[in-house]
Each structure stands twice: as C-alpha cells, then as structure tokens.
Chain A
Amino acid sequence: MRETIIALLPILLPVFMGTILLFLKRLKERKVILFYTGTGLLLTGVLAWNVILNAKDQQVTLFWLTEQIPVMLKPDVLGKVFLMVVTVVWICTGFFSFSYMKHEKNERRYYGFFLITFGILMGLGQSGNLVTMYAFFEFMTLAAFPLVIHNQSREAVMAGLKYLIYSFFGAYMALFGLFFLCRYADTITFTPGGTLNAELIADHGQMLLIIAGLMILGFSVKAGMFPLHAWLPAAHPVAPAPASAALSGIIVKGGVFAILRVIFYLFGADFLRGTWVQTVFLVLSLLTVFMGSMLAFGEDILKKRLAYSTVSQLSYILFGIALLEPTAVCGSLLHLMGHALIKSTLFLCAGAVICRSGFTRVSELRGIGKRMPVTIWCFTIASLGLIGIPPTSGFISKWYLATGALDSGIAVFQYAGPVILIISALLTAGYLLPVTLKGFFPGELQQEAGHDTWKKCEGDRLMLIPLVILTALSVLLGMFPNSMLNYIDGMLSGIM
C-alpha cells in the first residue's frame, strides 16, 4: 500500500491539479495561476524525488486491463534516472514559462496541460510493463499536443497534426510488439535481460526480429530517427519556446527511454546482438547523426536549427544503445541526461532571445551577446557541452560512446561510429558557435541600420535563474559524472 501511494502520488497530483486548472474558467488573475502552477510543479518535484529516494524496486499492480495484461508501476533504476531528468528540466522550463508566456494568450490552458504532461511523464518513467508504458506514451503524445499548437495559427495546427499522426503511427508500430510478446514471452513485465521464452521462440526467430525492428522503429519516431524524423523540425519552431524545450529535452527522450525498455527489458540484448536488426538500427542512427548535423548546419532559423540538432544528438544516444555494449549504453544514458539539460537550455536561450529581441534567425543575432550577456553565456556553455569539449557532460558521454564502439568489435561500425561522431561534433561546433561568435563579436556591421537599439534587453529573473541552474547542472554532470555512473552501474550489469 505504501509503495502504491508513493508511486501514484507524483502521477496523480499534477494530472489532478492540471485538470482542475483547465476547468477553472473564472480564474483570470495571472498571479494566482502562476502561484498555483508553481506550487504544483514544486510539489510534484518533491514527490518525484520521494520516489527516487524511497521507492523500492517492486511491482505495484494497479488493475488488470485484460486477463493477461495488468497495468503496473515499477520504479527501477532506469525509471528513476528518467524521473530525475524529467523533474529537473520540467520544473526549470515551467518557471521559465512564467516569464515567457506573459504575452501569450490562453496561459491557463498552457499551464494546465503542462502540469498534466508532467504527471504523465512521471507515469512513463515508473511504468512496469509494456502496456502501461504504451498507455502513458500515448497520453504523453496527446497531453503535449496542446503545448505544440499553443498559438493555434494554421501553421502550428498543421505541424501539431503532423506530430500527432507521426506519433500515433510510431506508437502503433510499437504496439504490434505487444501482441506478439504476449504470446512469445514469459511476461510483458520489464525484466532486466529480457523476457523472451526460449522454447516458444525457437522457430519464430526471424519473425520476432521483425517485430523487434518494428518496435524500435516505432518508438524511434518520437526520438526522431531518420526515416520518420520529419515531425520534429516542423513541431519545434511553432511551439512556444519553453514547450519546445520540454519537447526537445524530455518528450523525445520518452522515445529513447521506450527503446531502452524494449531492447534491454523485453527482448534482451543477447537476442538482438549480431542480427540484421542491430545492423539496421546502427546504420539508421549513424545516418541520422550525420544528416541531422548537416541539416542543422544549413538552417538559418534558430529554433529549427536546434531542432535538427536534436535529431542528430538523439541518434548519438540511439547509436550507443544499438551497439548493445555496456560502455556504450552507459555513454547513451549520460548523453540522455546531458542532452536533456543542454538542449532545454539552448531552447530556453533561444526563447529568451525571441521573447526579448524578436529575432528568430541566426543571421540577425549579430551583437546579441552585448544585449543579453547572461543568456548568451549560458548558450555558449551549453553549446560547448553539446560539442563535447571537456569538462562538460558532452565530452564524457561521447568518450564513453566512442570507447563502447571500439570495444564492441562490430566490423565497420567500430571505426565508422567514432569517425562519424567526431565529424558530427565538428559540425555541431559549426552550427552552434556562430551564435556565440556573432553574438559577442558583431564585427564591423555593428553600425548598420536597424541596429539602433543597442540597449540591454536581458530577460528577467524568472527567465535567467532556470537558465543558470540548467547550465550549471550540465556542467556539474560533466565534471562529476562518477556519482551518476555509480548509480547506473548496477543496472547496466543487470541488463547485459
């Protein structure tokens, strides 16, 4: 009973508070809404940390969906890692929104869905079997939808629909797996090392590989892997900046998290190692790494550039997973955390720039560093982190990824992987650093017409504090990764 309450509270509280906020039509007072949302976010954060610190790794069955399929929660280490990332990023983004959303309409709805999504993410992290995870995954897609289409322009709605259709398509591909796994696995409860029943699958190896491939591909839609990544650059620029930060920092990680669950907790790494599924997965992820960087490099709209960067960076994580190698997976997890922090910082910085100066294109950002020094400093530090310059988190995770690739001994990929990672890192530098460079060193064009307002336009405290916290955390993660590594070490040995 105690476990049930601990696990359920962080899910139910924000969903409940968010729903109430949606229905409080009369509530027009902005301060009250903000206070309410802020309380909700912090309370959920506390409850989430309660799960992380106190919950035991045991199943909590809530009810039975059909006779074989229970809905259950099981906060294990991987889930807790996800919860940590979500809590930090979501709360920071939430507080950033308080300032950013000031001039937007329908704030009440935004915060309502923001809270609801928070609760659902808590559920996603704790879900104990495939059906539960699928359910929360779908709800996450739906709850985040109003965030994407917030300004309800035609463009936003179309992008939102694209996001929705892609996500449903992907989730449904993944659902196939459920039907088969019910039949060929001992259980669909997540178990480290996989649950496939060796006897039953004896003659159906190929078919199950196809299913595994479909599931991976299905969940990778959310993670923006190559053939089905198109929703990502469409949805990010139209959403309000904090929503894109949440989307890019967390929602897409939901896809990665689901893939981790599928590979290591359902099929088992051994089942996939050395098969064509692994090869396809490797090829697609490397392709995406490269392609995403290239596209980002050629993109002028800042938020779109960051979106392509997300596409590329997520595939780093996927590549690490695809190697099925403990070191690489460790790198993936670190990159998952690092990228969540960094990318939300970058998006929030972009948001601050858009909000304060109105510039959306990189080419317009000349001299912005003088006007918004703190923001651009955060942007710079985060950029360095993403590029992977020591001692930031990106360096550690990429190091692990490269070592893992070399260790894996998979022909071609063990060398191709690190090479592409390095090329992509250079490209990352190429598309992120110009913002800093132009921002701080505007050069001769400084006196050009149109730049007559050189006065400061730095964001207010509500904007800057979350930015600084996120940036600091990303640096800390890079400097002291050991505590994190120790935390996930036991899990890694369990699943391999």
Chain B
Amino acid sequence: MWNGIIGNFGEAVAVALFVIGFANLLLQKNLIKKIIGLNFMDTGTYLFLAEKGYIQGRIAPIIVDGVQDTSLYINPIPSGLVLTGIVVSVSVTALMLSLTIRLYQRYHTLNMDEISTILKKEEN
C-alpha cells in the first residue's frame, strides 16, 4: 500500500488535491471559496494527467535538432489534454466569478443559503 503511494507520489498528491477541491466545492457556503475549490479540483486532475503522461528520463515532446525518435520524448497527448482542460476551466471559472459578482451586487452576500432565504422572503 505505502509502496504504491510513494511510487506514485505525484498521482497521490493529485488525488488529494482533487478530493480537497471536491469537498470545498461541495461543502463551502461561500461562493468564492467554492470557486477556489473548483480550481483545486481541476488542478488535481491536470496534475494527474501530467503525471500519467510523464516518462522518467525523457524530454518534452518538442523536436530539437530534427530527432524524431519517439523513445526520447514523453507522451504528448496528456499534455494536450491538460491544455484543453485549462482552457475549459478558465472559462468556467470566469463564468462563475461573473455570476458571483452579479449575486453580490444584488444581495450583498456570498452565502448561497442566505441568498435563497432572501429570495423566499421576496416571494412572500
């Protein structure tokens, strides 16, 4: 068990980050903290992917001096996925932040539950 974790140190950290982020996203009441949790979670996933694509002792898949031998480079696909993922997470974060700003302007609070209570009061 311990060997497994030490041998895959990077992945273990990635999973830990994911879990921390997930818990924050789920349990925090404050919207900003939720968004931070979201970023933690995404980062965890990207670290996991990057770790999976990395092969000990090889270099980044950028062709230097015309050497095309695949055994020199790491797996480029996860890196590509990470890049795509980052784009997605940036746009999602931006959307979330803009929503948060709107809500704050309207209700002067960042707590989702309070907002719901105010809304219910408004209705009655």
Whether the complex brings A and B within 8 Å at their CB atoms is answered no
Q: Which chain B residues have a beta carbon within 8 Å of chain A's beta carbons?
A: none
